[in-house]
Amino acid sequence: MNPPALRESRSVCPYCGTGCGVLIEHDGERILGVRGDPEHPANFGQLCSKGMTLAQTVHGSGRATVPLQRVAEETWQQASWEQSMGQIATRWAEIYRDRGPQALAFYVSGQLPTEDYYVVNKLAKGFLGTNHIDTNSRLCMASAVTGYKRSLGMDSVPCSYEDLERTDCLFIVGANVAYAHPIIFRRIEAVKAQRPELRIIVVDPRRTATASIADLFLPILPGTDVALFHGILHLLIWNDRLDTDFIQQHTEGWQELKQRVQEYTPQRVAELCQIAEADLQRAAEFFATSPAVLSLWCQGLNQSAHGTDNNVALINLHLATGQIGRPGAGPFSLTGQPNAMGGRETGGMPALLPGHREIANGEDRAAIAELWGVETLHPEPGYTAVPMFQALERGDLAAIWITCTNPVLSLPDRQQVERALRTAEQVVLQESYLDGETMPFAHWLLPAASWGEREALVTNSERRISHLQAAVPPPGSARPDWQIFCDFAHALALALDRLSVPLPDRKDDSWQQRALRMFSFRDTASIFAEYRRCTIGRDLDIGGLEIAILDRQGPQQWPFPVGAKSGQVRLYANGIFPTPSGRARFHAPVHLGVAEEIDARYPLRLTTGRLRDQWHSMARSGRAASLFASAEEALLAIHPQDARQYGLQEGQLVRVESRRGAALYRLQCDDSLQRGLLFVPMHFGSRYSPAALCNSVTQAAIDPYSGEPEFKHTAVRISAA
């Protein structure tokens, strides 16, 4: 018999928000290899170490293949889909009957494709009537969302990757692009090699691999971003380097900001940030004299108790100098996860509805209620991630459905998250892998199809929507996430009718009739068709985009309204912003520092972040042996002089301790850190380094606008273990 023919399916890498195109080589049963898609405009055929090893991460043991019910501590029993859906639905229907929908919550993931996000939001907000649905994007992008909305009126990234080639000055702040978005970094390296006059400023408390390419490196003290941006603006004003026409014609709030930044003199800012005043002057000079300035940022700005302030203060610089809406210019937030942006588009956060609409806005609620065929939607935003798990511990939430994420490893203050999950009446975990730290707390495990095993749609950092083809079938009885949500809606409807729970309105005769009307999706295309209707007339209008167009013309950027021939490369070129006045808004935050200052008992600053070759909690990347070559275990990095001061040595086991808990690490001396700063990678869970769980130590302080936690600063102490 001839071996099955080799085929290629078009897809996108499921790791970072760069969204590199991938061609999956397979025989229809197994994925045999991957290569970069030369036609995808995000990567033109290149892949980083993580993308190149994707084929090793799909098959083999450790995959979730059948529904499992935990019947005793560490004892799981197989169940059919029918049994599991029936039993879970009965419990959720009882909770709904006894305590109402506000006792039910969903916690999902920026790795879910767009169609999953749309369906689970429709299930929570439209069918059940709970807005308690948040996503792990809360941990990475939420402050950029609130920053864009407050400054520009909408959560819309105005730039494109091609701006990397067209800029004169790159202002990279709080982003280790070389590790977190390696293909974007290669693109930057190529531009710098071709045009050495390109100026690159890197701002980071650590001298990261990204800083190696910088013309100017500013190692600011953690938590001083607002002071830095105000200091640069102060100098731009002082040196008469503003775009006064742009300020007058296209912005509002300038006078208040101008007054605010008077306090941020170069001397004061240099002291606050602990950088040389001359370097601050040079940064302002670069900003002022470059025809086009492009800012790139990521978690360094966002993961802060003042993340929104950090974002608006950076965007202020672009508005004050008219550096937006032009080739090579603009504030470009890099998306952490592969579909964090797609999730927000579909309303995948507790304050949002599909099409960049707001729960708190009556007109927005009415528009989506009509589209979904329900009388009303609950008017109050639900819990964001950290408060959601606090509500679960308090008993205000009874059940939680966790999909494609590992909160026990990834949320701050791990001890609190574990207490919350132990308190919950029911924890449903919908996952592709079996070995996550959250699994021991789940009552049910539902197997989800993974990358390459299902069709999908995702949006990358530059608003580009790609269509991912299925290459191979999912293992066992695993199903696409959207299908599990639809199946659950039907099972829940049956249970609610059986318990005679009344519908909240008269639009249907029964829950089952409602579920049939709302959740009869057949495939990705049918979900996309409904979702597209939610976008018409909005800033992200994709009314003219069909999957056939994506297949024919390749990935497209939004907006793509009816009649468009292609997506839009750049936003706000006309200087009109989606605010009530049409003007962008300056904001004037004050520098507030970090949430938990160091003191005599906890004298060191701990920051967490990514490694180049691992991803999140390593469910996928931990299955590729070669990805351990650059870092076999989690190490705690410390400046060599600090190690000496504490009598510690390279390789020694040390205990790092905060007010909440402790973790054990082997010590690594690293002079790329400033004195007093420690760094640990976020990835390694109990499977790899049993005691090195960084979120045993971190704090649950969150930004008041975005709800994003302050992972980038915790006061700690260290000692020999």
466 is a contact residue toward ligand SF4 (CB under 6 A): no
Instruction: Pick the piece of the chain touching ligand SF4 (CB under 6 A) from 147-155, 179-187, 445-453, 645-653.
Output: 179-187
Query: Which residue minimizes CB distance to ligand SF4?
Result: 51
Q: Which residues contact 696 (CB under 8 A, 6 or more apart)?
A: 414, 415, 660, 661, 662, 663
Residues within window 19-38 making contact with ligand SF4, judged by CB under 6 A: 19-20
Tokens 């709080």 appear where?
174
Choice between 48 and 128, CB closer to ligand SF4: 48
452 is a contact residue toward ligand SF4 (CB under 6 A): no
Return the SS3 of 677.
strand
Pull the structure tokens for residue 394. 């308090």
Backbone torsion region of residue 404, taken as left when φ is above 0, otherwise alpha when ψ lies between -120 and 50, otherwise beta: left
16 is a contact residue toward ligand SF4 (CB under 6 A): yes
Minimum distance from residue 13 beta carbon to ligand SF4 (Å): 3
Return the SS3 of 529.
helix
Interaction pattern, residues 498-537, with ligand SF4; x per rule: CB under 6 A: ----------------------------------------
Pull the structure tokens for residue 38. 């030369």
Minimum distance from residue 157 beta carbon to ligand SF4 (Å): 16
Minimum distance from residue 670 beta carbon to ligand SF4 (Å): 24
Measured distance CA(532)–CA(543) in Å, rounded = 6
User: For ligand SF4, how many residues bind (rule: CB under 6 A)?
Assistant: 14
Measured distance CA(664)–CA(538) in Å, rounded = 49
272 is a contact residue toward ligand SF4 (CB under 6 A): no
Minimum distance from residue 606 beta carbon to ligand SF4 (Å): 26
Residues within window 620-639 making contact with ligand SF4, judged by CB under 6 A: none
Q: Are strands 653-657 and 714-720 parallel, antiparallel or unpaired?
A: antiparallel
Pick one of 11, 18, 483, 689: the residue that binds ligand SF4 (CB under 6 A): 18
Nearest to 570 by CA among 330, 320, 295: 330
Choice between 612 and 666, CB closer to ligand SF4: 612
Minimum distance from residue 130 beta carbon to ligand SF4 (Å): 33
616 is a contact residue toward ligand SF4 (CB under 6 A): no
CB 40 within 8 Å of CB 20? yes
242 is a contact residue toward ligand SF4 (CB under 6 A): no
Residues within window 39-58 making contact with ligand SF4, judged by CB under 6 A: 43, 47-48, 50-51
348 is a contact residue toward ligand SF4 (CB under 6 A): no
Tokens 């949430």 appear where?
595
CB 715 within 8 Å of CB 645? no
CB 458 within 8 Å of CB 19? yes
Choice between 615 and 665, CB closer to ligand SF4: 615
701 is a contact residue toward ligand SF4 (CB under 6 A): no
164 is a contact residue toward ligand SF4 (CB under 6 A): no
Measured distance CA(387)–CA(617) in Å, rounded = 21
Torsion of CA 189, 191, 196, 202, to 10 degrees: -50
Nearest to 108 by CA among 98, 118, 97: 118
84 is a contact residue toward ligand SF4 (CB under 6 A): no
Minimum distance from residue 15 beta carbon to ligand SF4 (Å): 3
Pick one of 182, 307, 407, 452: the residue that binds ligand SF4 (CB under 6 A): 182
Tokens 């001083």 appear where?
224
15 is a contact residue toward ligand SF4 (CB under 6 A): yes
Choice between 287 and 451, CB closer to ligand SF4: 451
End-to-end CA distance of the chain: 61
User: Is the dihedral angle over the CA atoms 701, 705, 706, 707 positive or is it negative?
Assistant: positive
Pull the structure tokens for residue 578. 């989606």
147 is a contact residue toward ligand SF4 (CB under 6 A): no
183 is a contact residue toward ligand SF4 (CB under 6 A): yes
How far is C-alpha 562 from the chain's CA centre?
A: 29
| Positions that interact with ligand SF4 (CB under 6 A) | 13, 15-16, 18-20, 43, 47-48, 50-51, 181-183
